[in-house]
A and B are shown apart, each in its own frame.
Chain A
Amino acid sequence: MSTAKNKSNILGKIWSNYSFIFVFFMIFLVYAMTNSSLSLSATMNIFRHSAVIGITAIGMGLVCITGEIDLSAGSMLAFVSGFSVIVFNKTGGNIFAVLAFALLMGAALGIINGVLVGVVRMPSFIVTLATMLIYRSLAQYYCQHIAKELIGGGSSVYKMTSSFNGYDAMYNFGNGKIASLPIVGLVLILVTIIFMYITNDTKFGKKIYAIGSCEKGAFMAGINVRLMKMTAFVIMGIMIGASAFLWICMNGSSDPATTGTSYEMYAIAAVVLGGVSMSGGKGKIIGVLFGSLSYTVIDKIIIALKMDSLINNAIKGVILILVILIQVAGPQLKERIKMLSVPALSDKDEAVYDTKVKVN
């Protein structure tokens, strides 16, 4: 009996730690069934379509592990990608200038969020809600009020001038493949590996988890909580910069009205699906990767079934609720069953009394 119990415990543990893998493979299975002609390249394309949202979600994951949230991600993506296009057009197609600018601008916007949340200690929900409005508004405003040649001649879209010599290189980077794996997908995998290293094997990573798990305790152990929170937001900004660069490489343009809309929400959903606790301190970066892959596959299922893509978000929402329902309701249900089977005071209850006595 005890071995059976142990077994169910281990299974329960694997489920709670790695549910994101089960969820991904279940969704993938549905995709494979609906798509009779599933090819290797179609499978690899999942990585291509996950690249931007995946990298955004990894940055979001880091912020969420500290116990904060960043709602400005989508707007920041539009803002940074739009201005990166301007830099591309202005420098006559200098790829490195564009990349450096995208990363730096992301970092700068991240610092604004980070200082207000980490140093000034304003609630991150409010701060990033405000910067979400600001960043998108600025992206749209400058698109209308800047010299036309800088936005590629159009009127409401930031467009890279395709005649510049850097254009092809960037386009190939955004749409090319190495051994059937999309290059942007490779970037996503690389970023995931870097962040897995940072969160698992560095002192910085441990501090990020510590402040999310118990901020007071982390402070008492000498961790500079304000600086750490700010750094998390700056890294988030840099990730948005990288996402923005990938975006313009893939699309050659950025529409300030639609680029990255609701991306913060998708990123948060991927983070949660990946097992990161929104109250901080728990979760794995690899989970975030699987979370964002899962959402891309859902898109693909709907295309394969030739359904109206407007149903997309409804299905994503339902899956999110189901997965979290299992995570939250499961233990509660188990507790209920336990309480019914053990009528007397459990150890835990006595422990509560114990502490009460000591307090008294």
Chain B
Amino acid sequence: MALLEMRGIRKSFSGVPVLKGVDLTVSEGEIHALLGENGAGKSTLMNILTGTIPFDGGEIKFEEQELKNISVKLSEKLGIAFVHQELNLFNDLKVFENIYINREITGLFGKLNKKEMIRRSEDLFRRLGVKMDPTAMVSDLRTGDKQLLEISKALLAGAKLLILDEPTTSLNNDEVEHLFSIVSDLKKKGISFIFISHKMPEIFKYCDTYTVFRNGEYIGSGKIADTTPEGVTRLMVGHSEDAGSYVKRETGETVLNLTHMSGKGFRDVSMEVKRGEIVGLTGLQGCGSSEFMQCLFGITPKTAGKIEVFGKEYKGGSVHRAMKVGIGLLPANRKENSVIPDMSILENMYLAEHTLSAGKFHLNKTKELKKYDSFQELLNIKAESGNMPIVSLSGGNQQKVFIARWLNTDAEILLFDNPTQGIDVGAKEEIYKLIHTLAMKGKTILVNTLEIPELQKVADRCVVFYGGSIAGELTHDEIDEHTVMMYSTGLANDKESKEVV
């Protein structure tokens, strides 16, 4: 019997359709994999189901009961629970306090009945087969246990359908195993799961059925037993897009040489990059490519290996040192990491250069404005003047200002971490062109992105990360969604290792 039936769900944000009539059916007592690339609409649908955002059209039935409007309260009451990627637990409270938060068992004068809560928590854990001390601090738990705590908490509230949003990203293999042994037990008791993940091996090991979305459209569904990882990947990716404006260029001498470099979140990265080359880095969320960039820029220390910049060894570990050898980083999350909101465009652009020329104390504003004007022309920044506040610019133009920030320091090696995040389509194209122009002028550029079409447009070659290390390297012509997906979900390697065995 179908526990949940969603038919023709539509949703637009400010006129842009995000869900174009998608279907999803989940039966009682099954693990249903919801698949699709970043931006396919999975999370939007889940947010509709849990009542966080309203839907424009379509039909939702839960236990044969039609739902017109879903509120967060109603979805909780029906027994739908969302176990978020970022866990919604209170780290400074104990396990049982987290379970009973806002529904505490109290006695006379509102005094907490801790004994009863602890006893019931123990009971719950015993029933679920979870080994956890209710009086432990949540901050001391491992990520896997936190996940189990979230699930237990939802089940205590009477959840019948649990949504697990990439629960295994930060778990090791044993923890994954443990998580799924409990999930499988619950499945036998009639609890259903919607499982959102990018990791094919897991999906094929544990899930019963699947549904695939692409660009907000329903593509297909079926039994996992009837398909193959390659088949599912093909459904997720669809036809590969037009390669676009890529032009092959001559490259120069080696400017960056990494040998067995390791750091926080990645390990054993070796690569050689030539002047004027554009190297794409990619992988799934948390694969280590972003961490690698941060380490190269000196934000986190390097724990092993060697970095050579222009033939000279560079030890890293300090942003200032990275800037001095000619490295610049355009970080991800522009709002948090780049924008100085109280300052003007000019001040934002010059901030990095000022740290290199701190010896010259005085600001020459006319000279700076002149230099800004030349960058404005080169990068096509659409702003009235450099004295306008940075927050008055659109995302794309802000990003150009931050590219100017590094050009202004004469950085030769530019690291772009997710450079088109939160930027509209037209501005994206401009950024791609800019990357090309800069490479043509002899800058060496590393672009980290999760979007494969982006790589096809700019990258000379592409390094795919999986689980913190390099899973494979593709030349420009080899880059397509299917191949990259195979490497970044660990499928390609699994196969290779099997072949070796």
Contact = CB atoms under 8 A, between A and B. Distances in A.
B329 interface: yes
Interface string B9-52: 00001101010000000000000000000010111100100000
A224 B343 contact: no
Nearest to B349: A221
Contacts of B320: 222, 224
A360 B354 CA distance: 37
A156 B351 CA distance: 51
Contacts of B409: 222
Interface residues of A, number: 31
Interface stretch (A210-218, A239-247, A326-334): A210-218
B405 interface: yes
Q: Give chain B's interface secondary structure class.
A: mixed
B337 interface: yes
B201 interface: no
Contacts of B340: 209-210, 213-214, 217-218, 221, 281
Contact of B405 (A213, A218, A221, A353): A221
A308 interface: no
Contacts of B43: 359-360
A357 interface: yes
Contact of B339 (A201, A206, A214, A356): A214
A209 B343 contact: yes
B358 A220 contact: no
B363 A222 contact: no
Interface in A188-228: 201-204, 206-207, 209-210, 212-214, 216-224
A207 B354 contact: yes
Interface in A217-266: 217-224
A220 B331 contact: yes
B319 A222 contact: yes
A201 B365 CA distance: 8
B13 A354 contact: yes
A341 interface: no
A213 B354 CA distance: 17
Contact of A357 (B13, B323, B354): B13
Contacts of A224: 320, 355
Contact of A360 (B47, B329, B355): B47
Contacts of A217: 336-340
Contacts, number: 105
B366 to A, nearest CB: 12
B363 A218 contact: no
Interface residues of B, number: 44
A306 interface: no
B428 to A, nearest CB: 12
Contacts of B41: 360
Contacts of A360: 39, 41-44, 47
Contacts of B47: 360
B363 A281 contact: no
B158 interface: no
Given A206-B354, A222-B320, A223-B355, A213 B343 contact: yes
Interface in A338-360: 350, 353-360
Interface string B308-346: 000000000001101100000101000011111111000
A316 interface: no
6 contacts: A210-B340, A213-B341, A213-B343, A221-B405, A353-B13, A356-B13
Given A203-B363, A214-B339, A222-B409, 20 more contacts: A203-B355, A204-B358, A206-B351, A212-B342, A213-B340, A213-B341, A213-B343, A217-B336, A221-B338, A221-B351, A222-B319, A222-B356, A281-B341, A282-B342, A354-B13, A355-B422, A357-B44, A358-B39, A360-B41, A360-B43
Interface of A: 201-204, 206-207, 209-210, 212-214, 216-224, 281-282, 350, 353-360
